[in-house]
Amino acid sequence: MSAPVSHRLGVCMTMRSEEVLEILAGAGYDFVLIDCQHGAASEADVVTLVRRSAAAPAEIMVRVSSNSPALIGKVLDAGADGVIVPLVDTAAEARAAVAACRYRPAGDRSFGPIRADLPRTPAELEGRASCFVMIESAEGVANAVEIAAVEGLAGVLVGPGDLSISLGLDPIEGFTTDQIFEPLAAVRAACGRAGIATGVFAAAAADVARWTGQGVEMTIVGSDVGLLGAAAAQAVAAGRA
């Protein structure tokens, strides 16, 4: 997936549920992010989850729990459309993430697609595997130009919470104030120079315009748990009334 022309909207899935994935993937989002870093699902669970979404109109991305070739290869073999690799601070770490998505001689991915409808040639499999990395620290921001320039990278996402902690700031306010606008602008400029996408995690749909106003092309808004909780609270309030 190359840098998008228009804004792309995604949602984070933290539950280990085929039914939830099917609902989210059909709700109109551009992509659903299965979160193996902070969610209940592991990379092994993705094998089962992604099969349920083979015909879904939304792309299925996976945030892996670490920058591991084995874990990245597993979710791509399962049929994920791409990976998001967290906590990338250097260009070397970004190159390792990209290499895990590419076969030899360009990378170190092992051949083994396991979903029946997947292509069977390395070139086709590589062509459908997007690699995004996350900048979540002051070190990552300082290295943003070198990270964004890594060949084969589709984009860089910023994590407002962890980046705020790295800067000595409140992580919750990273989502609701302008405290990371300056480092985000540095990342955005680096990605623009490299011709790749910039993305960010947002707490609520009301925040999307604030982030797009900062030039980001991808926003991951909320989660399945948050949406369910909000809908349940609204239903209870209406019922009590």
Catalytic site includes residue 38:
yes
**Cα gap 153→198, rounded to integer Å:** 11
Active-site position among 2, 27, 28, 38? 38
Within 10 angstroms of residue 129's Cβ, the number of other Cβ atoms is: 24
Peptide bond preceding 105: is omega within 30 degrees of 0, i.e. cis? yes
Q: Which long-range contacts (CB under 8 A, 24 or more apart) does 107-114 make?
A: 108/69, 109/69, 109/72, 109/73, 109/76, 110/73, 112/73, 112/77, 113/77, 113/79, 114/47, 114/77, 114/78, 114/79
The catalytic residue positions are 38
